[in-house]
Amino acid sequence: MKSKHLRLPEPTAKDFEVLCALLGISERQAGELAIRQWIQRNRNQASLETWTEARSSVAPVDRALVNVHVTIMKAELRQILDELQIVAAEYQIEVLRRLQKLMPTARALVEETRDKELGEVLTAVAAKVTL
């Protein structure tokens, strides 16, 4: 087993201690469960392994920032895809203008990170626009 130590803000630590006591579970069990759930929820987020292997000099803060950008871009492209499906034709021009502004950044992120999910969303949006 590997040891990890986390420093929590005082209010969070107190709430954690009280809830563990009230639920009758150890803090270790609760912490392990929370981390497992966090891993499960975030497992499908942007995978930067291949991107960071090629650029090992990139600072961890930069990787985290790129991960955030990828996640935001996926959400924005999905929203545009949804809007293109439900918005009346006369209002689609506004959606397409937003898409036009996002495309250069989205393409650059796909090229840099090789994020499969972002690439799939970008392809789906492009297919919808060309129809």
What is the average pLDDT value for the chain, to the nearest integer? 79
Whole-model pTM: value is 0.51
User: What is d(CA 78, CA 112) in angstroms, rounded to the nearest whole number?
Assistant: 20
The amino acid occupying position 30 is: A
Q: Are 96 and 81 in contact (CB under 8 A)?
A: no
- Match 């150890």 to its residue by tokens: 26
Q: Are 110 and 118 in contact (CB under 8 A)?
A: yes
The angle at the Cα of 38, spanning 33 to 44, to the nearest 5 degrees, equals: 140
Q: 36 pLDDT exceeds 60? A: yes
Q: 50 pLDDT exceeds 70? A: no
User: What is d(CA 123, CA 119) in angstroms, rounded to the nearest whole number?
Assistant: 6
Q: Percent of the chain beyond pLDDT 70? A: 83
- Provide the pLDDT confidence category of residue 43 given band limits of 50, 70 and 90: low
User: What is d(CA 77, CA 89) in angstroms, rounded to the nearest whole number?
Assistant: 18
Q: Are 80 and 98 in contact (CB under 8 A)?
A: yes
Q: 1 pLDDT exceeds 60? A: yes
